[in-house]
Chains A and B, each alone.
Chain A
Amino acid sequence: MAANAPALTFIVLFLPILAAVLAPGLTRFLGDRAAWVLALAPALAFLHFCTFLGEVAGGEVVTGGYAWVPSFNLSFSWFLDGLSLTFALLITGIGTLIVIYSGGYMKGHPDQGRFLAFILLFMGAMLGLVVSDSFLMLFVYWELTSITSFLLIGFDHEREAARRAALQALVVTGGGGLCLLAGLVFLWNITGVTQLSLLVHLENGLRESPFYLAALVLVLAGAFTKSAQFPFHFWLPNAMEAPTPVSAYLHSATMVKAGVYLLMRLNPVMGQTPAWEILLPFFGGITLISGTLLAVRQTDLKLMLAYTTMASLGLLVMLTGFGAPHAVEAAVLYLIAHSLFKGALFMVAGTVDHETGTRDLTKLAGLRAAMPITFGAALLAALSMGGLPLFFGFLAKEEIYTALAAGNPRAVFFTGLAVAGNALMFAIAFAVGLKPFLGPRIETPKHPHEGPAALWLGPVVLAALGLLAALFSGLAHRYVSSPMASAITDQKVTVDITSMPHLGLPLMLSIITMVLGALVYWRLDTARALMVRALENLGPGPDRGFDRLICGLVRLSVAVTRFVQPGRLEIYITATFILLALTLLVPPLVFGELPGVPAWPQNLLVQEAAFLLIALIGILAVVRATDRLTAIVSLGIQGFAVAVIFLLFGAPDLSFTQFMVETLSVVILALVMTRLRLSPRDHRPVGQMLFDAVVATACGLGFTLLLMKSVEAPFDNLLTDFFNAYSKTIAHGANVVNVIIVDFRGTDTLGEIAVVMITGLAVLALIRVRAGSRTGSGEGR
């Protein structure tokens, strides 16, 4: 067993992904029963992780891994301590139930297979995220959860709202992921380690590094976006566009807790600093209170739950960063409790929706008779969420108040926040878990009756676990809570709170919470109306802001693009030559590469001077020419002058070629140009002309100066001497230029011939199409 454990764990990590690959085929083959088979994958993984419980509870850490990308010091390695093991169990355990639930919920849906595949794919990603030891592996899985979440939110892709929500989630969490990447690379740079397990036990003062704050902010940006902290929270309620299994699984029990996971993971090495203990409670607190307030306003069961999820995440972040004794324990207990009751309540909401055809709270009542099992599960979950004694939620709440309540102003402030938030959550818990089932029946779009086992199994198991875990709290603490809290604080912590109420301040606060919560529940409609009015006065929130951001970004990009890519060749050429002038003139000035004043050539012969002058006149004439023919003739003049210059300076071959080419150019130009009815002149306004002249002169000057500088030093004649020595003796050619072309540098000539050949073909293609049919050159020939 021990010898096989690493290989087995490796396989288990890929089990969900394997199941995802099989899902579409299996669904086609087995139909609605496929989910039961596919649920085996997470179930097996769950069992596998259970085998580590004893070891981890004993304070050990299960690690393993394989080399993956040694160049980046990156291995595919996992690291299971109390923290990651708890997460792994939640992911696979709840995952099993969710897969079964999905089978019931998506029954008969044509894309059921695809849906199951995405869910399982997400599961694989999430599992990888929490067990990752290497930074980059964590990042890879982190983004994978964002991507699978994108696919799942947009599952119902023909509705615009779903598409918008999917994009929103991707933009917010994906963008946060990029920040996280930067933060992780920062950590890598600061510490030189690439593994979380090494980082956590690092002694050499990450907190003292000047880059600590930058790394912290980047990591927090990643964690806060993923865990829907204010002001990045808006994507989470919109993510409820996804089918309910997704909401239950990704957007309450697992994925949104990834940010919290990361904070908990980094607590030993980045925590306990002023920045940490200010930023986390501050953002967490705001998120808690705004989440609960927004939840009160809703009537949609899923949205109410979504906003309380946001609030719970805020509470968790607040606790993680609070820094008092018991705060981490409270976070641990609340995280577990929340995963259980919120998962259950979401599934209940989904079942109600599925069976009645609506999830509007105001249109639901009296379902207890029609759906007794669902009602039971809902009640149990709501009791846990409300934090009543005997339930795990109660334990969590007691611990929260134990941690928060203290004499200093900061503690009083956050205790107040927690009481208010918890009271509102209490109200929502019963609004969702109780209201639809009590009272007289209201007619619903569909006739409700109890769903199949697949639909009630999940809620019942999770809700029951919330009770059992509290009843057998000793066991739960020993194997789950204590190891997890120890991992977060990096020291041995024993959680020992039980479900028996103890007299004291925490209990007092609990009672206040429940009384307040009951009050709100009783006057929920009034509270909702109040909130609606208050929010209307506040104006548009970040959700509208997202639309504006996207539209604004697109508009900005259109404006920028039109500016830098205006579609006019003239501007393109001008910009290019301005850049050329800068390239040629600025470096010589900055780096002292200007030439000295050259000596005037003393023995300039008359004919040389004459032809240099003729060439000059030729180019001036081309520039100044007022009609085409003059321009072309002048072009010929400068060309022939250049040819003569070549001849004068010992290059007869060149001279001959230049004559040929120049003649051809002039003849063809004359032939072609006279066939076009072109306006003879250049119509540049004077200002434009001056500007162009300045640019052109600057470029010319740059070329001149660079050439003068380049030829200042004595020339290295090595190559020339070689050609001289062997041109005749080995290559048997007297004309050295020709020998170079055909022998020493024959390959250039090969390329040159290729160019000529291709030009011919290209010109042919250009001309022929015109001669051929204009009409038929499009599609389908």
Chain B
Amino acid sequence: MAAPSTDLSAALVLASPQLADWLVVLPVVLMIGFGAVLMMVRKSVRLHGTIAITGLALLVLLDAALLIRISTYGPITMVMGRWLPPFGIAFTADLFGSLMAFVSAVVALAAGVFALRDIDAGGRRYGFFPFLMLLMAGVSGAFLTGDIFNLYVWFEVLLISSFGLLILGSEPEQIDGALKYAVLNLIGTTLFLIAVGYLYAIFGTLNMADIAGKASRLRETAPLVTLTALFILAFAMKAAAFPVNFWLPASYHTPRITVSALFGGLLTKVGIYALIRVTVMLFPVEREELSFVVAVSAALTMVIGALGALAQNDLRRLVGYVVIAGIGNMMAGVAIGTPAAVSGSILYALHSVVTMTALYLVAGEAARLGGAWSLSGLGGLYRRAPWFSAASLALFLAAAGLPPLSGLWPKVALLKASLDIGAWWLAAAILISAFIVTLALARVFLLAFWRPRPEPAPELAIARDWRIAWPLGCLTALSILFGLFPETVLDLSQRAATGLAEPSAYIRSVFPGGAAP
């Protein structure tokens, strides 16, 4: 039927995709598929756990394969429906995206295992595992897509999934938290969509490689600084940077602890991912113009987050503020913008995904053993659960950025980068924030672990459970491993940052001929 005169090669990628190319889309396909299967067997609650864990384990393997492939051969692009980019939607995975995707998958698997115990039959019946799968579809899609409108769609997928997870159980407190979360996040994603609209008006294209190539031509006439500012605001909201961080402390402590752990590890980091992708790769010149504002926001986020952690009695809220303090650190790297600084941000993001998830799990386990969420009610955990205490202490040190754990290296990278450009006040903010977080977490250790229980309660025999020990142990081990042998990850993140600052490999992967038509 096609007119014989039509030159197919002008419209389609004729070479059939290689196996490796499929790796770029498979994570998303896998998660949507598993999500759909789980919805089909919604009533058979018993099957959910097994199916979901299988899916997440496969996801980890896929993302690992993708990461290995990309770190060896560079970015991979796969176009959907074989339409040539920038016309169809291209999935383009570079080191940055695949690193984030891999770490997220690991954390999701850990949280999934933890959920086997934490999420009761009711929670499963109302869709915990399908939500989890689709959340991961959204997260993976966001990390791997090369199209900015498509990125918006994945943002929405993960956002609506997070709504579902947040309200599981429908406690009044959850509904209050969910309302604030939903309204503010809706505003955030709408701003993102609006920014995409403006972007399309200016560029006439949605493919990120295409945009990166065209930005320099349009810089003279188009309102790119304002547009970048709008993107920064939208992603800062998603990332919970001060002063648009309200939704996080308002909601993260309300759902089941597994859900908090997933959120704390993944959601804000997707915001940071998008922020880095857009500001560093697409609009570096505009980022430079706005760097002072971003730096101020970063410094305030770090300090406010740290102070917030110190002010909390509820362990979950405390961890929420620690997450925010970390966001400030990542923003600092964006503000500085040199490849060294951006690699610091990426490192911090990777560390934060693992550590923050684990910290929420610590809070959950502390509450299970100690029977309270609050510092005033907890106590005696050190005597009661030595191994758990050791893991917790390690994670506290990691979150505070003390050696020999994972938090140290990003901190050093960011410190060095900020002193390199003479931003001593940003360096000071990093250190002050680290100091206050150390104090806050040390107080947790003192009060909840070392201190004997405030009122001696009947010692319930609480059995050890592999569904708690394994996730917590593995995440802690990851943090320690990264702390002791940081070189591999450091090298990857530096290469990822270089790939963002100089995206020629990314662009070439989308347009093998060089630039876009």
A contact residues around B198 at 8 Å (CB): 706-707, 710
Inter-chain CA distance A752–B160, complex, in Å, is: 11
The contact of B415 among A70, A143, A185, A558, by CB within 8 Å, is A185
Task: Please name all residues of chain A whose beta carbon is closer than 8 Å to the beta carbon of B491 when the two chains form the complex.
Answer: 70-71
Kindly specify which of B48-56, B58-66, B148-156, B504-512 makes contact with the partner chain. B148-156
Q: 5 nearest interchain CB pairs?
A: A716-B204, A751-B153, A762-B164, A157-B450, A593-B223
Report yes or no: A178 in contact with B32, Cβ–Cβ below 8 A.
no
Q: Which of B247, B404, B420 contacts A140 (CB 8 A)?
A: B404
B299 interface hit (Cβ, 8 Å): no
Q: Does A604 lie at the interface of the complex (its beta carbon under 8 Å from any beta carbon of B)? A: no
Q: Chain A: which residue is nearest B417 at the CB level?
A: A185
Closest to B411 in A: A181
CA distance in complex: A758, B38 (Å): 12
In the complex, the answer to whether B161 meets A758 with C-beta atoms within 8 Å is yes
Query: Within A146-171, which residues are at the interface with B (CB < 8 Å)?
Result: 147, 150, 154, 157-158, 160, 163, 166-167, 170-171
By the criterion CB–CB under 8 Å, are A144 and B311 in contact? no
A-B contact pairs, 22 of them (CB 8 A): A147-B397, A147-B402, A181-B415, A557-B311, A561-B321, A565-B250, A567-B250, A580-B233, A584-B229, A710-B223, A713-B221, A715-B201, A718-B517, A725-B11, A730-B12, A758-B134, A758-B161, A762-B131, A762-B167, A777-B171, A781-B121, A781-B122
Does A750 interact with chain B (Cβ within 8 Å)?
A: yes
**Which of A310-318, A491-499, A571-579, A630-638 lies at the interface with chain B?**
A571-579
Q: Note all chain B residues with C-beta closer than 8 A to A136.
A: 412
Question: Interface centre among A179, A186, A716, A781, by most B CB within 10 Å?
Answer: A716
In the complex, whether B193 has a CB less than 8 A from a CB of chain A is: no
- Neighbouring B residues of A139 by C-beta, 8 Å: 403
Chain A residues whose CB sits within 8 angstroms of the CB of B403 once the complex forms: 139-140, 143-144
In whole angstroms, how far apart are the Cα atoms of A715 and B233 in the complex? 26
Quick check: A174 and B402 within 8 Å, CB to CB? yes
Residues of B within 8 A of A188 (CB): 416
Cross-chain contact of B164 among A70, A588, A765 (Cβ < 8 A): A765
Who on chain B is nearest to A588 by CB? Answer: B226
B202 interface residue (CB < 8 Å to A) = yes
Indicate if B490 sits at the interface (CB-CB under 8 A).
Answer: yes
Sample of 6 further A-B pairs with CB below 8 A, known A174-B438, A583-B226: A157-B450, A158-B452, A174-B435, A553-B439, A565-B249, A751-B156
Complex CA–CA separation, A747 to B12 (angstroms): 16
A557 to B307, CA, bound (A): 5
Say yes or no: is B137 at the interface (Cβ < 8 Å to chain A): yes
Alpha-carbon distance A571/B250, docked complex (angstroms): 12
Are A143 and B402 also in contact (CB < 8 A) when A181-B415, A575-B246, A776-B122 are? yes
What are the residues of chain A within 8 A of B408 when measuring CB–CB? 140
Closest to B88 in A: A744
> Which B residues lie within 8 Å of A556 (CB)?
307
Chain B hits for A716, CB < 8 A:
203-205
Size bracket, chain A contacts: 35 or more
| B22 partner residues in chain A, CB cutoff 8 A | none
Query: For the complex, is A686 an interface residue (Cβ under 8 Å from B)?
Result: no
Among the stretches A243-251, A331-339, A766-774, the one at the interface with B is A766-774
**Docked pose: A70 CA to B491 CA in angstroms:** 9
> Are B150's CB and A748's CB within 8 A?
yes
Query: Is B242 engaged at the interface, CB distance under 8 Å to the other chain?
Result: yes
Within 8 A of B (CB), among A719-735: 719-720, 722-723, 725-726, 729-730, 732
Query: Nearest residue in A to B134 (C-beta to C-beta)?
Result: A758
Say what secondary structure dominates the interface of chain A.
helix
| Residue B187 CB within 8 A of the other chain | yes
| Partner pick for A557 among B201, B205, B230, B308, CB 8 A cutoff | B308
Residues of chain B with a CB closer than 8 A to A713's CB: 202, 218, 221-222
Stretch from B2-10, B92-100, B352-360 forming part of the interface with A: B2-10
A490 at the interface (CB under 8 A from B): no
Q: Does B257 contact A (CB under 8 A)?
A: no
Taking CB atoms and an 8 Å cut-off, the chain B residues in 236-285 that contact chain A are: 237, 242-244, 246-247, 249-250
B151 CB to closest chain A CB, in angstroms?
Answer: 10
Nearest opposing residue in chain B for A190, CB measure: B419
Q: Which residues of A contact B191 (CB under 8 A)?
A: 580
The chain B residue sitting closest to A156, CB to CB, is B450
- Chain B hits for A579, CB < 8 A: 233, 243-244
- Residues of B close to A769: CB separation below 8 A: 122, 126, 169-170
Q: Which of A214, A586, A707, A762 contacts B160 (CB 8 A)?
A: A762
CA distance A665 to B35 in the complex (A): 28
